[in-house]
Structure 1
């Protein structure tokens, strides 16, 4: 339980930092990072980068670089929560792959978006980032639902 508490605290603290970066992008008149993650093509990504201007792109770059640390905190928290539910119910160890896959998707997404910000094959990198982001969100959602159901079933 102690590891879970520390992991939750670290994730929340890191999320607070990420929110500062998110506000920085939005104050330029552009969107936050998630619409950039989901742009999916050169036109959408370029439109967002234009809306951001150089200041917003700087905030986005910081957000993407710091996200590599954030993914470790939320990935650890998700892994601990899933493991807690999994071990209580004797479910397969393969469920641990959900947060691991989500973090891997987030890392692929981050690299692709950093390349897009640098103007490197923006269309391909925007498409790759979108696919990786959708995979990340789906795996995290499945893990969250599993954890919630596991917690509810224990209380019943």
Structure 2
């Protein structure tokens, strides 16, 4: 796995927004037993004190899957071989994109924040995710783009 240049840094997209990740960003949407792994973002981070999925800046030569797994390992201590990776959803902003890597585990595993970017990690029942104060980008994804098995989603 070649990573290329470090992707840390702010960029502006074609829509005029400011984003973290010179080569885009990726996150791991990890589900186990109808629970989603969420990280409570540390107060000083961009959109701090909100909940989102583990993720961050992609390095120059990384695929979305490589970046999402690397970030999840760095942030949670997750065994990178444990998740079963599925499809990837991409939110393209024109010159910058966020890739959500869908993955599953057989059961939730105990995880603790590893790198100071999250104050808490929590396995949240899918039906309760929308009750939390979500990172704005993830809130939009959760409300509008996520397709649930059987064509429905928890209310």
TM-score range, shorter chain: under 0.3
Name the TM-score, length of structure 2 as normaliser: 0.23
Q: Which has the larger radius of gyration?
A: 1
TM-score of the two chains, using structure 1 as the length reference: 0.23
Higher strand share: 2
